[in-house]
Amino acid sequence: MSQLFLNPYINFQGKAREAMEFYQKVLGGELVLLAASPDGPKPAGPDDSIMHARLESDSAVIMGSDGMPEYPPTVGDNIAVALGGYDRERLGKIFDQLGEGGKVKQPLKEESWGTFGWLQDKFGVNWMLNVSKENKNATT
């Protein structure tokens, strides 16, 4: 059986470049920005509309686009990006940076499974961050 991957795809309605560059600044990783052309997708220039963006950092992937004016998104509670791991220090820093200019809905706090927090960033995207307790029996 093949492995499945799950990641968000976000319609930023004209702000994809700004949003994806912000997320790259916070998360690190490789960002690919593509624009439409008559010959198919091409690397996006500075003034191009973003047809497709992909940010990959470690095993986290975020995809998005500038969307289409005839299909405007409903920004807010329609999507949450779940980001998790075991590194409390790194995820705490990411949580703080994502919250800059946004709204923290639940500060990071200890739960039975680990540490959890929820916020809405300055682009209206909800994030759930989860720091899992390390499994002492894990072999990886």
**CA distance linking residue 19 with residue 25, whole number of Å:** 10
Q: What is the pLDDT along the chain (140 residues), one digit of tens a residue?
A: 556 677 898 989 899 999 999 999 999 999 999 999 998 899 999 999 999 999 999 989 999 999 887 777 776 665 789 898 889 999 999 999 999 999 999 999 998 888 999 999 999 888 999 998 865 444 33
pTM of structure: 0.75
Q: Which helix (H) or strand (E) holds 120?
A: strand 114-120
- Amino acid 71 reads Y
Domains with residue ranges and CATH for the chain: 9-65 (3.30.720), 76-132 (3.30.720.110)
Long-range contacts of 23-29 (CB under 8 A, 24+ apart): 23/55, 23/62, 24/55, 24/57, 25/97, 26/94, 26/97, 26/98, 27/55, 27/57, 27/60, 27/94, 28/57, 29/55, 29/56, 29/57, 29/58, 29/60
Residue 10 half-sphere exposure toward CB, CA atoms < 13 A: 28
| Residue 97 CB burial class (10 angstroms; 0-12, 13-18, ≥19) | middle
